[in-house]
Amino acid sequence: MIKKAKKLLKKLNNNLKTDYLRFLNLPINDRLVLVEGGQGSNINGNMFSMLKEIETNPRWAEYSTAFVVTEDTLVKAKERMSFYGFDNVTLLIRNSKNYCRALATAKYVMTDNSFPPYFQKRDEQVFLNTWHGTPLKTLGKSDKSNLASLANIQKNYLMSDYALFPNEFTRNVFMEDYELKYIFKNKSIIANYPRNYVFYDKAQGCEMKSALGLADKQVFAYMPTW
């Protein structure tokens, strides 16, 4: 049974790679942005904040957005797009044929994790990686239980035109644990995570405190991710 499952998985991966490679012959769509959070499993965080910026800022009015989901997150993503009125966003299931096409042809590609191993950034594409947290846990070569993911994440960072880190600590962890220190040549940016700009929205903060009956209090949020 395990042998048969591995054979089917290998065939699936080969078919996806074939689809993707075929789409590399298509021209780049200069007005398409592909946004992927948590390999399709995360429909909030940094990538949703980037989507929100694209969909609400008039500067990007001429651009269309493809937001990556999985079979498990599709329904909830549809509900979220409807709630925010993002009617023009295309939802793509990760590793589908349409996903492969968009990944191969979008001018701008963004992730807070890593794209599939078959992804190869084209010269005309602009690739931003924000990652999704501060690595207080072990990553890369320091995580002996998950070494299989090291190569693809390293590859993704080496292809990134821009790598955003929320602080020097995070940048240093990635440079060391993914063996990037001497080979990463593109732009690294130290800046707030996109998802954290909500903390600077005073109007929303006042509204939330009022709803919680804490209007006259100073509120602290403790939100560990691990």
User: 151 phi and psi, to 5 degrees?
Assistant: -60, -45
Identity at 168, one-letter amino acid code: E
32: CB partners within 8 A, 6+ apart: 63, 64, 65, 66, 102, 105, 106, 107, 108
167, 134 Cβ separation under 8 angstroms:
yes
Strand partners of residue 189: 164
Lowest mean pLDDT among 39-43, 58-62, 76-80, 132-136: 132-136
39, 67 Cβ separation under 8 angstroms:
no
From 49, 69, 52, 72, select the one nearest 60 (Cα to Cα). Answer: 52
- Looking at residue 9, what is its pLDDT? 47
Identity at 35, one-letter amino acid code: V
Q: What is the mean pLDDT of residues 46-55?
A: 96
Strand partners of residue 69: 93
Runs of H (alpha helix) within the chain: 2-23, 45-56, 74-84, 97-105, 150-159, 168-177, 202-211
From 159, 102, 153, select the one nearest 128 (Cα to Cα). Answer: 159
- Looking at residue 8, what is its pLDDT? 47
Tell me the pLDDT band of 15, cut-offs 50, 70 and 90: confident
The pTM of this model reads: 0.88
Tell me the pLDDT band of 11, cut-offs 50, 70 and 90: low
